[in-house]
Amino acid sequence: MRSLSRTERKTRLSNSNLLFMIAGIIFILMYGFALISYPGSFMQFQTFFDLFNYNAALFIVTLGLCVVMIGGGIDISVGAVCGLVTMACAMLLQSGTGSVFEALLLALGIGLAFGIMHGFLIAYLDIQPFIITLAGMFLAQGLLTTLHKEPLNVTMREFVALRNYTIEIPWLGTVNRLGVFIPCEIKPGVIVVVVLVILYAILMKWSRFGRNVYAVGGNRQSARMLGINVKRTIFLSYVLCGLTAGISGFVFLMTTGAGNIGNGSLFEMKAIASNVMGGILLNGGVGNLLGAPIGTMTLLTINELIRAAGVQSNLQAIVSGLLLYLFIVLQSIVISLRGSGKFSFALPPWLKRT
């Protein structure tokens, strides 16, 4: 394999950025196809914002899981933890003994407890993450059904006001059939998603912890030789993932307004699929955190396309599964070709740094 010159090394895209760029192109093509096929639905700006309004919790879960996956781990308990948080917070609010702020603290506490437990068992006792998080999933599901088996609507006035609060974008919207301009609206959960994306992107790009996560996910032995505290890095990644699942549960409650034993169902599978579609490798070390929301939008666009086509809902799972196969194979081919030197994508001349 020929060696790269100094200039080529500077401008050659990393595996993470290349897979992220591919994921972005696929999303643009997918959404463009949706615009052409169903302009009546997808041409409305509100349709795009509703992807975030109604799925903010999934975006948040995907972000937390992305950090763990880049570090070479996995957490399949995030969906159950999210559901447990929604029910626990709903019970606290509906009982009238707690405020919205106290419910948020409860959500963070539950997520943090699961994150610390999983992180300690996986990092310091060296137990397989799949087994530990599977146990965590069963524990969270068991606690969820023990707390309350029936749906529980939250009617607390302060919470209802927060849930119904919307932010209007006056310069962006659509004109209805009566010629009235209707501005686009976003929910508070969308603001939470945007803030977390910015914070996590900064954390993974410029902090020592972020660099350590990539190093540990790429090769743990090499990371140890570089003086990185591998166990602490793994532990913190799971703590962060658990904390994010807690935030997701609270946002989910703000979206639905009720605790339900079905809340967060299959979130972990959707989050894994979204991360893979966003260019994050399952074996760790490669991935751009911004690929997590891109992958989530791709998955949601597919579901909306199927719903707009009026076909059976079970086709969503079939199409999502087939596309997941496609993304995994595509990632393997790209990484394999780049490793053998047969595929070396570099930035175009107009993007190269001087």
Q: What is the mean pLDDT of the chain?
A: 85
CB contact at 8 A, 152 and 89: no
pLDDT digits (tens, 9 = 90+) for 260-275: 888 887 889 999 999 9
Q: How far is residue 58 from each of residues 92, 275, 333, measured CA to CA in Å?
A: 23, 11, 28
CA angle (31, 32, 33) in 5-degree steps: 90
- Span of 20-34, 97-111, 141-155, 169-183 with lowest mean pLDDT: 169-183
Confidence at 1, pLDDT banded by 50, 70, 90: very low
pLDDT digits (tens, 9 = 90+) for 118-128: 999 999 999 99
Residue 182 bridge partners (DSSP): 174
> What residues contact 325, with CB distance under 8 A and at least 6 apart?
none
pLDDT digits (tens, 9 = 90+) for 202-225: 999 899 999 999 999 988 999 999
Q: Which amino acid is at 199?
A: L
Confidence at 339, pLDDT banded by 50, 70, 90: low
Q: Which amino acid is at 324?
A: L
Q: How far is residue 5 from each of residues 119, 181, 211, 285, measured CA to CA in Å?
A: 41, 56, 24, 24
CA distance 213 to 353: 27
pLDDT digits (tens, 9 = 90+) for 299-319: 898 888 888 777 666 676 777
What is the mean pLDDT of the segment spanning 136-156? 90
CA distance 149 to 103: 20
CATH placement of domain 14-35+43-337: 1.10.3470
CA distance 268 to 58: 9
Ranges 9-13, 44-48, 277-281, most confident? 277-281
CB count in 10 Å sphere of residue 198? 10
> How far does CA 35 lie from the centroid of its chain?
24
CA distance 321 to 149: 31
Q: Which of 245, 221, 211, 241 is nearest to 16 (CA)?
A: 211
What is the mean pLDDT of the segment spanning 75-100? 92
**50-85 core/surface letters (b: 16 or more CB in 10 A; e: else):** bbbbebbbbbbbbbbbbbbbbbbbbbbbbbbbbbbb
CB contact at 8 A, 66 and 227: no
Residue 64 scores a pLDDT above 80 = yes
CB contact at 8 A, 82 and 56: no
Q: Which of 306, 285, 334, 212 is nearest to 66 (CA)?
A: 285
pTM for the structure as a whole: 0.88
**pLDDT in the model for residue 123:** 94
**pLDDT in the model for residue 152:** 87
CB count in 10 Å sphere of residue 25? 11
What is the mean pLDDT of the segment spanning 47-61? 91
